[in-house]
Amino acid sequence: MPSDRRPGDRVPAQVPPEAAAALAHTLNVGSDPTERDQQASLVGAAEAVVTGSDSERGAQAALPGVLSDVPVAVLVIDQVAGTVTYANTAAIELAGNVRLPVPVDAWGAAAGLTDLGSAPLADTSSPLSLVAAGRPVVGEAVRLSPRRSSDQERADASTDASDQVLWVTGFPLSQDGSAQRLSLVVFLKIDEPALSDDPEAQLQDLRERAVIATDIAFTITDPRQEDDPLVWVNPSFSRISGYTYEESVGRNCRFLQGPATDRETIAQLRKALQEHQPVSTTLLNYRKDGTAFWNQLSITPVFDGEGELVSFVGVQSDVTERVRVEDDRRAAFAAERAARRDAEEAHAAADAARVQAERAQSRLALMAEATSTLSATLDMDDLLGRLAALCVPLLADWVFVTLVDEHGVVRGTDSRHRDGRAAELQELAELHVSNLPENSPTRRSLTSSEPVLQARVTEEWTDRVFPTARTAELFRSLGGASVLTVPLVARRRMLGAMAMVKTDQRQPFTTEDVELARDLSRRAALSMDNVRLYQQEHTVAETLQRSLLPELPTIPGITAAAQYLSASSSADVGGDFYDMLHLPDGSVGIAIGDVVGHDVAAAAAMGHLRGLLRACAWDAGDGDTGDILGRVDRLVQGLHVAPMATMVYGRVVRPTGPGEPWRMQLANAGHPPLLLRHVDGSVEVLDGITGLLIGVDATHVRASREVAIPPGSTLVAYTDGLIERPGEDLDQGIASLMTRLSAAPVDASPVELCVHAVGPHPDRRDDVAVIAVRFS
């Protein structure tokens, strides 16, 4: 039935029950995620609903909680645009998939709304249009005809659906002067009354059905009367509270309160009502029979056209079950949170244990790497460089090592910075070690043999440790936030100290770092002491080497050079030797040999053997070289001065006249043959003579042969370390050596021939000795 009101009709100030029911549905847009998914203009609608003061917005935001479970269709209309900006889930079900915002008549057409005479609402003075114009609609009945919906999909799906009667109430939400002009519309589904000849009676019947249809308790109070009493309650209020209409009206609604009602919540309600502000809350109330129930309440002030407060409209809902479920949910959540906390604590403990295990494993890996890295070199500079590389950047941002020598003199050595800056760091190290104050961490570690930790570096500390302006400037430039020094002690000997520095104040050194650095310093010190001992042995070996390998004499008409390479990893000495003698009769003795072994013992035996050879050659004079080697063999075995050895001995006699060759008598005791490089660069093998090794058979008779050496030729004698190669026999090695000598320049000196004989990459599997003698 169309409305009998006309535009301009004045609405009574007192809001009737139907309008109160509508006001109960004042909603904040976006309360339901389903609605958000189905509406394109959700955000705009949410903004459109927010009106009035902050407290008003708070009340509106809380109202959806009151009405969330009520199947009542609600629209919010923008009066300025004449469009529907919000529709709740029930309203969406009415109109189908309508994209908001949409004109009010278009929304009504999509829903299939008509008046009771089945005329489209767009053709009448519809309640939607009135509300859109800012006019209140106290209550009108409309017909919902899904088959006549403009949404084709909805119409097709509703071919068998019967018409329904909806009770429409609506009123403006905004007060005069508000920035936005909004109205709210509520649709209630009711049973259509029996046909009646009296239209007004039928309309009244519909009104009564609409009020009774809602499951929400509505109340109206009159603040103009003393104590703001109830002036109207709907049947749902009586059903929820147990108080009849007569028992409720005329009393302030505080009669629902009881001993357990929260006083603070009551104070908030009272304050909002005194300030004429809307308010929503949940509080514990009591029914007439004394049973408690949780009451979700929203109270909204209503003003007349002059802005005077005329009533408070309350919307109440029994949410006891919801609160119980919420309490159960909170309890379950608390239990779950406690279980999660316990699980997180257990997980954290497991993580901490894993971190500790990873740290321990990392520490073991670092120590293993340090042991293998530091023990892989016998060069002090290389070792210090490896130590610095282990520390930076894994343990520190920069580091420098200070060493003390055997006399206790302090000197700086290797340093490293993660960003390079080698020149600045080296300058700091040199300046600092030249003036170590007593309170510097390095000096303290050197004197106490204990680590020194300065977890936090301060300006005062820097000035105290680095007393000169330049060192303090360099330290600050390089960055120093935390300093740790550890001593380098091995075999009860102080070797030095290592200073590690971090530049990040957020990650200072800790006591755990101290233990790690101490372990590393012990391994480093042991490796450093091994290098020290090796260098001492190396010094002794060099002294022995110089005493065993002769300085070649200067002999007229002869130019000679020699080279010796040891295969020993501990000392540059071995069992190979060479010698050249200027004999009393003017002849020249040339010898080369190889004692079994590659160490200091072999070198000592080589020294004995060389001495015996020199003595026998000197006494024999112009005797046969084979007899000389035989005599040496007998002395070696009789005196037990050496194990087996190979040897070549030749005695060279000067030419008898100009242009004549030099004459050489040659004997061989199991040694590789000598080579003769002619003036034109060709190389000849002086073979054809050999014999048993020295030390095998003292009775062995040794032969000799005569060799003519043209002037300008060079005799090359060598040991087997020069011709032995993996996978090659000696003949191939000799051929390779002849090729290297032939490739040398024609005028190559004996020194250059020695270099060519050894080659660019000598094989150090065995000792190597080579001597080149040129005869003019």
Residue 508: cis peptide before it, omega within 30 degrees of 0: no
- CATH number where 753 lies: 3.60.40.10
Query: 209 and 223 share a domain?
Result: no
Query: What spatial distance separates the first Cα and last Cα of the chain, rounded to whole Å?
Result: 144
Out of 36-40, 314-318, 490-494, 717-721, which region has the weakest mean confidence (pLDDT)?
36-40
- Provide CB contacts within 8 A for 123, sequence distance 6+: none
Q: What is the 3-state secondary structure (H, E, C) of 188-222?
A: EEECCCCCCCCHHHHHHHHHHHHHHHCCCEEEEEC
Better-scored residue on pLDDT, 15 or 91: 91
**Does 61 reside within a domain?**
yes
- CATH number where 266 lies: 3.30.450.20
Averaged over 566-592, what is the pLDDT?
81
| Cα–Cα distance for residue pair 190/207, rounded to 1 Å | 9
- CATH number where 450 lies: 3.30.450.40
Averaged over 484-489, what is the pLDDT?
94
Q: Is the dihedral of CA 60, 64, 66, 71 positive or negative?
A: positive
Averaged over 189-196, what is the pLDDT?
59
What pLDDT, on the 0 to 100 scale, is given for residue 29? 28
Q: State which of 539, 571, 600 marks the end of a domain.
A: 539
* Residue whose pair of structure tokens reads 């300065």 in the numeric block: 454
What pLDDT, on the 0 to 100 scale, is given for residue 271? 93
Query: 573 and 666 share a domain?
Result: yes
pLDDT(194) > 60:
no
Query: 660 and 695 share a domain?
Result: yes
| Cα–Cα distance for residue pair 634/693, rounded to 1 Å | 12
Helical axes 320-374 vs 380-391, angle rounded to 10°: 180
Better-scored residue on pLDDT, 226 or 347: 226
Q: What is the number of other CB atoms lying within 10 angstroms of the CB of residue 68?
A: 16
Query: 557 and 526 share a domain?
Result: no
Residues 144, 147, 149, 153, Cα dihedral to 10°:
130
Per-residue model confidence as pLDDT tens digits over 441-461: 998 999 899 999 999 999 999
Query: 416 and 515 share a domain?
Result: yes
What pLDDT, on the 0 to 100 scale, is given for residue 47? 30
669 within 8 A of 642, measured Cβ to Cβ: no
Can you give the residue range of the structural domain that contains 97? Answer: 1-214
Instruction: Report the share of the chain in percent with pLDDT over 70.
Output: 81
Better-scored residue on pLDDT, 229 or 190: 229
What pLDDT, on the 0 to 100 scale, is given for residue 757? 92
Per-residue model confidence as pLDDT tens digits over 105-138: 889 888 888 887 778 877 667 888 888 887 877 6
Of 95, 100, 107, nearest to 85 by C-alpha is 100
669 within 8 A of 629, measured Cβ to Cβ: yes
Query: 187 and 198 share a domain?
Result: yes
Q: State which of 485, 515, 539 marks the end of a domain.
A: 539
**Does 431 reside within a domain?**
yes
633 within 8 A of 605, measured Cβ to Cβ: no
What pLDDT, on the 0 to 100 scale, is given for residue 450? 94
What pLDDT, on the 0 to 100 scale, is given for residue 572? 56
**Does 335 reside within a domain?**
no
Of 566, 565, 562, 541, nearest to 552 by C-alpha is 562
Mean pLDDT of the chain: 80
Residue 55 banded pLDDT, cuts 50, 70, 90: very low
Residue 101: cis peptide before it, omega within 30 degrees of 0: yes
**Which residues sit opposite 165 in a β-bridge?**
143, 190
Averaged over 746-757, what is the pLDDT?
94
**Does 369 reside within a domain?**
no
Residue 185 banded pLDDT, cuts 50, 70, 90: confident
* Residue whose pair of structure tokens reads 């160490």 in the numeric block: 599
417 within 8 A of 425, measured Cβ to Cβ: yes
What pLDDT, on the 0 to 100 scale, is given for residue 227? 93
Residue 62 banded pLDDT, cuts 50, 70, 90: very low
| Cα–Cα distance for residue pair 230/254, rounded to 1 Å | 10
Query: 521 and 603 share a domain?
Result: no
Q: What is 473-535 written as a DSSP string?
A: HHHHHH--SEEEEEEEEETTEEEEEEEEEE--TTS---HHHHHHHHHHHHHHHHHHHHHHHHH
Averaged over 386-393, what is the pLDDT?
88
> Token digits for 395?
């343990």
**Which residues sit opposite 401 in a β-bridge?**
498
Q: How far is CA 542 from the centre of its chain?
A: 52
Residue 312 banded pLDDT, cuts 50, 70, 90: confident
**Which residues sit opposite 83 in a β-bridge?**
78, 103
CA angle 369, 374, 379 (to 5 degrees): 155
* Residue whose pair of structure tokens reads 């071919």 in the numeric block: 159
Query: 205 and 223 share a domain?
Result: no
Alpha-helical (H) ranges within 495-640 are: 511-548, 600-620, 625-639
Averaged over 81-85, what is the pLDDT?
89
**Does 660 reside within a domain?**
yes
What pLDDT, on the 0 to 100 scale, is given for residue 292? 92
- Provide CB contacts within 8 A for 525, sequence distance 6+: 487, 488, 489, 490, 495
SS3 helix, strand, coil % of the chain, rounded to 5?
40, 25, 35
Of 316, 261, 260, 234, nearest to 62 by C-alpha is 316
123 within 8 A of 109, measured Cβ to Cβ: no
Q: Is the dihedral of CA 507, 510, 516, 520 positive or negative?
A: positive
pLDDT(63) > 80:
no
Out of 25-34, 337-346, 498-507, 573-582, which region has the weakest mean confidence (pLDDT)?
25-34
446 within 8 A of 460, measured Cβ to Cβ: no
Query: 204 and 221 share a domain?
Result: no
What pLDDT, on the 0 to 100 scale, is given for residue 749? 95
Q: 239-253, 406-420, 635-649 — which one is most confidently predicted on average?
A: 239-253
Better-scored residue on pLDDT, 316 or 544: 316
What pLDDT, on the 0 to 100 scale, is given for residue 488? 93
**Does 325 reside within a domain?**
no
Residue 140 banded pLDDT, cuts 50, 70, 90: confident
Of 653, 651, 678, 654, nearest to 666 by C-alpha is 651
363 within 8 A of 390, measured Cβ to Cβ: no
Sheet holding 576-582, edge to edge: 576-582, 588-595, 645-653, 662-669, 705-709
**Does 449 reside within a domain?**
yes
pLDDT(200) > 60:
yes
Query: 530 and 575 share a domain?
Result: no
What pLDDT, on the 0 to 100 scale, is given for residue 744? 94
* Residue whose pair of structure tokens reads 């032995």 in the numeric block: 724
- Provide CB contacts within 8 A for 675, sequence distance 6+: 683, 684, 685, 686, 715, 716, 717, 718, 734, 737, 738, 741
What pLDDT, on the 0 to 100 scale, is given for residue 41? 26
The number of folded domains in the chain is 4
pLDDT(487) > 90:
yes
> Token digits for 2?
């169309």
Q: Is the dihedral of CA 56, 57, 59, 64 positive or negative?
A: positive
Per-residue model confidence as pLDDT tens digits over 676-733: 999 999 999 999 888 899 988 888 889 999 999 999 999 999 998 888 877 778 889 9
Q: What is the number of other CB atoms lying within 10 angstroms of the CB of residue 344?
A: 12
Query: 224 and 112 share a domain?
Result: no
Of 634, 701, 635, nearest to 667 by C-alpha is 701
What pLDDT, on the 0 to 100 scale, is given for residue 51? 32
Better-scored residue on pLDDT, 45 or 661: 661
> Token digits for 217?
């308790």
CA angle 382, 383, 386 (to 5 degrees): 90
Query: 533 and 620 share a domain?
Result: no
**Does 356 reside within a domain?**
no
Residue 736 banded pLDDT, cuts 50, 70, 90: very high
Of 74, 76, 72, nearest to 101 by C-alpha is 76
What pLDDT, on the 0 to 100 scale, is given for residue 61? 40
Instruction: Report the share of the chain in percent with pLDDT over 90.
Output: 33
Phi then psi for residue 609, to 5 deg, are -65, -45
3-state secondary structure at position 399: strand
Q: What is the DSSP letter of 145?
A: -
Out of 72-86, 294-308, 349-363, 612-626, which region has the weakest mean confidence (pLDDT)?
349-363
| Cα–Cα distance for residue pair 398/542, rounded to 1 Å | 37
3-state secondary structure at position 348: helix
Q: State which of 519, 539, 559 marks the end of a domain.
A: 539
Phi then psi for residue 196, to 5 deg, are -140, 150
